[in-house]
Chain A
Amino acid sequence: MTLHALLTGLAITLLAGCGKPTSTNSIPESAPRFTEVDDSGIDLVMTSGTLPSTQIIEVNGGGLALLDVDSDGDLDLFVANGATLDAPTAGPGCRLYENRSHDGRIEFHDVTAASGIDLHRWAMGAAAADYDGDGHVDLYVTCHGPNALLRNRGDGTFEDVTTSSGTGDTGWGTSAAFADLDGDLDLDLLVVNYLQFDPSAPPPSARFKQQNVMAGPNGLSAQHDVLYENLGNGTFRNASQGAGMHAVDPAYGLNLVILDLDGDERLDAIIGNDSDENHLYRNEGDGLRFREEGGARGIAVNRDGHAQATMGMAIADVDGDERPDLFTTNFSSDTNTLHLGRSADAWDDRTSTWGLGLSSRTMLGWAAVFGDFDHDGDEDLISVNGHVYPQASMDSMDSEYEQPPSVMIRSGRRFRRATQEETGQWISEPRRDRNLVRGDLDGDGDMDLIIGELNGPVRVLRNETTSNRRGVVLSLRDDRPISRDRLAPGARLDITAGDETSTRWMPAGGSFQSTHAPQVHVSIPPDQRTIDVEVHWPDGIREQFDAREAATRIELLRGTGTDPASD
C-alpha cells in the first residue's frame, strides 16, 4: 500500500464518521406484548397445496373467521382450509373450533364433525355474518371453484344452502364480506374474485429478479367481482351487472373493506387488487348502484401513481380527523402503503412520512390490522409476512421466504418497528404467515390474535400487555323486527371517554380473506367510569349512547340510544 493510499483511506474513514445517522423517532411508552398459547386446542396444520409451492393457487393460504357460532358470548373460530394440486376438490376440510376458554385460559375444541361442516374443496376465505337475521351467525366460504354458504341452524350445526341461496359463484373467490349495501336492513354479499386458473394445466413459469418463478397473476385472466343482493327470503340475486361492478375491467381481486368512506351515510367498498389498481366502489344509493372512483379519489395507486399488489387491508383513523385511512400490504421490493383521507372524498399516500415505507421493502405482506393493542389510546399496526416464491432469499430476491410479523408502534405521527424485547418472541420468528384475525378471545378487554400460516399451524397469541388503562370491547346489535342486520358490519363508532375521542369502524372485510371479530375496541383512562358512543349505523341513521358504564364489554342495542340531532 502506498503512503498516499493509506492517507487517503484514513481521510475517507474520518470523513465517513462525519455522516452519523440520525433519527427523529421518539420512543413511545408502551408496546403490545403477546405470548403464543401452546395448548390452545387448535392442532390443525393448514393445507394449501404442498411445500415448496409450485403454482399460484398454492400461495394464498386459507382464511380465518372469528364469530360467535353458539351465541354464548365468546368467539369461536372457523378455518378455511385448502387442498392440494393432485386432489383439489378433496382436501382435509375446513374446521370449526368452539371457544371454551375459562379462568383466563384460552382453549378451543374442534367441533367440525358435530357442526356438519363438510367442506373439502380448496377453500380460500371466510366471511361471517347473520345473513338471514335469525340471530345466528352464518358462514360464507370462498373457494377455488364454487363458494359455499353455510347457514347456522342455531343448534350447533350448519347446513349448506349454497344452491338454494344462489350464492355459489364458481370463480376463484378470495375475500368476501357481508354488509347492508343498499340500506334495506339486510346483509348483501360482496365476493372478490382473483383469476382463472386450472390446476391441471398450469401456465409456464415467469421471471422475477433473474429467477424462474411460478407464473401469475400477470398473463392470466382476471375475474369480475360479484355482488349478491340479499332478497330477504333466504335467497340472493346476482346484482353485479346492474350495480356497476362490470363497468370496469376485471382485476386480480384479493381483498376488500366495506364502510362509509365519504360520509354520505351509505356503505362503500374498496377492492384490493393484485398487480392492478385498487377499486373504490362509491355507493350512489337508489338500491345497489356503484361507481368505480378509485383513481379519481386517489386510492387506486400509490403516491407515484403505480399500481401495487394489494394483499392485506386495514382501516383506522390514523391522524385523528375522523376520516377513514387505509393501510395495504404489498409485494416485496415495494412498500406497504398508507392512504390518508384528506377530505370526504380524497385520499393521499402518506406512507413515507408516517414511517411505513422503507421499513417494509424486504417484506411481502399479507393480513393486516390496526388496534390499540397496548392500551395507550392510539392504534398500532400488525401485519404478517412471507414470500410467495420458495426460492426467495436475501441473496436471490432481497427478501426471505419465511418472514417474521411486523408490529408497528404508533409514536405521534410516525410508526416504528417494535422489537422482540417489547412484544415477545413471536415477532422474531420467520414464518410463512398469511392470515390474521383479532378479537377478545378470553374476555379480558384486550385484543388477542389468531394467525394462520401457509401449510403451517394456526397460532393463538394472547395479549399480555400491562397497562393502567382499561380496555373496553364494544359490539352492536339490532334486534328490531324490521331489521335483519343484527351486528351492523361497516358501522362507525365515535367514542368519547373523558377528554379522549376516537373513531372506529365495525369490521366488514379487511385483514386478508378473513373476518375479524365483530367487536370495536378502545382503551380508556383508568379513572374513567363511563363512555359516550355515537353509532353511525350502516343505513345512515345515527344514535347516541351517553354515559354507558365502561364495563369490559358493552353491547349497544339499536333503539335504546337517543337521536344526536336532538341534543
Chain B
Amino acid sequence: MSSPRHRLAPARGRTGADTPVKAACEVLGRRRQGPYWVLSFAAREIAERARPGQFVEIAVDAPHSLLRRPFSIAGVSRQGVAAGTVDVVFDAHGPGTAWLSTVATHDVLDIVGPLGTPFPLPQRKVNCLLIGGGYGSAPLFYLGEKLVAQGLRVDMIVGAATEDRILGTIEAKRLSATVTFTTDDGSYGTRGRVTDVLADTVAATGAGVVYACGPNPMLRAVSEGCVELGVPVQVAVEELMGCGIGACFTCVMPLRGRDGEVTMRRTCIEGPVFNGARIAWDETRVRLGPTVEDEPDEPPARPTDAELWGER
C-alpha cells in the first residue's frame, strides 16, 4: 500500500481518549470477497481506538443521499507496514453501498468512528462460540483474534443462505478449534440455519458464552436458543440508523431491564452489542421467518423412463 499522496486535514475530536473522531481517510484498497466488498482505509486514530463490535459511519456521495452509512469494523492494523488501517465488509444492496463499491484507491472518505459499544471480553477462562450470518461474520473474526490472544478457545458457526454468501471460510478455519458451516440450501456444510446446530455445537465445544452477529432474525433465534440452553449471549444488532452518534433516536431496540421494565435503547450508542437475553424480541418487528425444516428434506423420488417419456 502506498502512502497518502496528499496531506489530509488532521482528524477532529478529542486526543488520546476513548472517543470517536471524524477523519478524512484515504482508501487503500477495495476488493471483492465472494458477493461482498472489503474496503480498507487509512485511519490512524480509529485503528488505535477501535474494539471488536464497534462501527464506523461513512459519508457517501450517492445521488440524493444525505446520511452516513454505518459499517461494522472487520479488522484494524496497529503495527507493521499496514499500521493505522481499518477494514469494513459490506454488501452493495442500496445506493450508498453501491456508491462505496466504486471508490478508488487514494480517494478520500469522510469517516466518523469508532462508534458504539464493543463486545465485552470474558473476565475468566471460558470457551467461546462465535456465530456469524452472511457478512455479519466479519466483526467476529476481529473479535476471535482478541479472544484467541487471551488464550481462550474459540469455535465458530458460520451460516448463510448459499455457499457463495459464506464469508471468510479460511479465516474461520484458521481461527477456531472447530467450524460448523450451515447454508439454507445445503450448498455448503449442514443444510439449515445456524440455530439448527446450536445446541449440539454448544455441547460439543463446551461453550460458556456465545457471540453473534448477522441479520436480526438470526440474532433473535440465537438469543432465544441460548436462553433455553442457559448460555450467556452477546449480539451485535443491525438497526436502521440516522446519525450513528446518539443524537436522532432512530435506531432503538427494546431492552428489558433487571426490573422487567422495557426501555428503548439506542443501537448506536448503547449498542450495537447487547445482551441478547435482555432484548425484548417479542416487542420488536423481528420475526423468525420460515424454518428450513418446513421444506421436504428428501429429494423427490427419481422418475422412471416410462414415467418420463411414456411407453416407447
Q: Do A and B come from one complex?
A: no
